Amino acid sequence: MDVDCEGCAGCCVDWHALAPGIEDPEREGERQPLDASTNFVPLERDEVRAMLAAGHGDALRPRLWTIDGAETTAGDADSASAEAADRPDAPVEVDGYPLAGIRGRPVFYVGLRKPPKPVAPAGRDEAVWLPTCTFLDPETLQCRIHDSELYPNACAAYPGFNLLLDQPTECERVEESGGGKRLLDDEPPADPPGVGLGPQALGAKLFAHPEPESLTGRIERLANGNGTRADRRAFVTVAASSSPGTLAVSEDWRERAREEFDAGDSWVSGSIDEWTELEGGDAAPTLGEQVEVERGAPDTPGWE
């Protein structure tokens, strides 16, 4: 596997608005993401914990899915426990949304937030405001944590799992849109890093919220793009306290995660707020210096 990433960042930016004819595989099938973002990067439990320990809790957000046309389990403890044994994969209804679930618990990923940034991805020349990964330098289109222990396995492996499953890659979609040759070698890696699909993902990358009744109001806000810090916290702390291979949640770890989330105040927090305020103004990628680096974000090396 070999890719040319310079001037691309197609897997880090919601760039499909620049090429409306490009397919969005995340919108196919019976399970539809509750949010409107593309190129979602799921983090593993230990990666969620590492982000919290680094003070980057505000960089994290959940992804849930809806399943239309399926009979649901009510999102309360009594109904969930009564019906889960007979229909362990029945959707769980919260705020009127039939959420993908397991044994009465809504399932979710935790990934990275995408504030608006002025970027010119996918081989484009002109910068525009687009939802962009928290950790992407808008000027160099390089990841600020690429060479750190925080760099997610899902990013390091990309597009390895796609190639192993013979699925289209974002590299090829960029090529299709006229963004230059990106996938230079499509030989899949023998052993990409990270947790793959299957039962082993439960509690390690795919999490289940144990208290669906506590999510009333939160799901509606998340679906409308108005999720609050408290809404994100409710899911991030469950992910950090989950146990791989099971539905178990450690209350000790959950309380620790809450404390770390509440105490988190890295450069990420202020930069997301400022990017949101600046959206629609001068689309200058050099704003990354003011908004991120001056708050303590690590520099990127640029392209040789």
Whether the full predicted model's pTM is greater than 0.75, yes or no, is yes
**Amino acid (one-letter) located at 82:** A
Q: How many CB atoms lie within 10 A of CB 289?
A: 15
Instruction: Convert the pLDDT of each residue in 146-162 to its tens digit.
Output: 999 999 999 999 999 89
Q: Per this entry, what is the length of the chain? A: 304
User: Who has greater pLDDT, 131 or 17?
Assistant: 131
Instruction: Convert the pLDDT of each residue in 29-86 to its tens digit.
Output: 789 999 989 999 999 999 999 999 999 999 999 999 999 866 666 666 555 554 555 6
C-beta of residue 179 within 8 angstroms of C-beta of residue 122: yes
**CA 139/CA 148 separation, integer angstroms:** 20
Domain boundaries, the chain: 2-295
For CA atoms 272, 273, 275, 280, give the dihedral sign: positive
pLDDT interval class at 289 (50, 70, 90): very high
